[in-house]
């Protein structure tokens, strides 16, 4: 694995200039990669698309639905049983079904607000910005400063550091869901 320095740009023309500048600075063309990075959540990393099979922050929802439905169903059936003289034999069944439905709505009270941390969860991680990405791989630690300087001089919006492999211009092991290591 090599060290990779990547810069985010907004325009394709800036990407072309950055690729040429990195090559002129002595970096191998085969170890320079440029590609468009989609917004977080739209990287098509799962069979159904997107980045995750389950929505982040929704892991407690099934438990809340089951708890609410069971509690509401029991209460509804009890009320239905108490009203049998008025509702007839269908009272406990209808009461249980209505109670289960209303109780399942209890899960909404367990949902977190946007930006709110989950119980026992970690702080939100910074996501990569969408846009054009130019990356260069190298093995000599002395090349890092030179790569950062070239990308910043050309107006990279954000510069990050990673470990990986760029072969024939393709960053083969790039994982867009991993948080970036921003170079400050």
Structure confidence at residue 184 (pLDDT): 86
- Blockwise average pLDDT, block size 10, the chain, 184 residues: 94 94 96 86 52 56 74 83 85 86 73 57 61 94 95 94 95 86 91
| Rounded Cα distance, 131 and 18, in Å | 14
125 DSSP 8-state letter: P
| Rounded Cα distance, 147 and 6, in Å | 9
Structure confidence at residue 43 (pLDDT): 47
| 6 burial type by CB count under 10 A (0-12 exposed, 13-18 middle, 19+ buried) | buried
Structure confidence at residue 139 (pLDDT): 95
- Maximum alpha-carbon separation in the chain: 90
Strands (E), the chain: 2-9, 32-37, 131-138, 158-164, 166-167, 170-171, 181-182
Q: Could you tell me whether strands 131-138 and 2-9 are parallel, antiparallel, or unpaired per DSSP bridges?
A: antiparallel
| Rounded Cα distance, 60 and 112, in Å | 10
């Amino acid at each position: 694995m090599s060290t990779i320095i990547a810069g985010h740009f907004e325009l394709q023309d800036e990407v072309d200039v950055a690729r040429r500048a990195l090559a002129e600075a002595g970096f191998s063309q085969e170890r320079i990669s440029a590609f468009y990075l989609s917004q977080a959540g739209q990287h098509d990393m799962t069979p159904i698309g997107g980045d995750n099979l389950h929505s982040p922050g929704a892991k407690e929802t099934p438990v809340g639905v089951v708890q609410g439905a069971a509690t509401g169903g029991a209460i509804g059936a009890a009320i239905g049983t108490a009203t049998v003289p008025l509702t007839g034999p269908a009272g406990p069944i209808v009461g249980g079904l209505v109670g289960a439905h209303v109780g399942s709505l209890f899960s909404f009270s367990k949902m977190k607000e946007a930006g709110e941390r989950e119980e026992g969860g970690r702080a939100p991680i910074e996501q990569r910005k969408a846009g054009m990405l130019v990356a260069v791989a190298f093995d000599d630690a002395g090349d890092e400063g030179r790569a950062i300087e070239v990308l910043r001089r050309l107006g990279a919006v954000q510069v990050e550091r990673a470990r990986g492999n760029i072969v024939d211009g393709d960053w083969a092991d790039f994982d867009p869901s991993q948080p970036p290591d921003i170079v400050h």
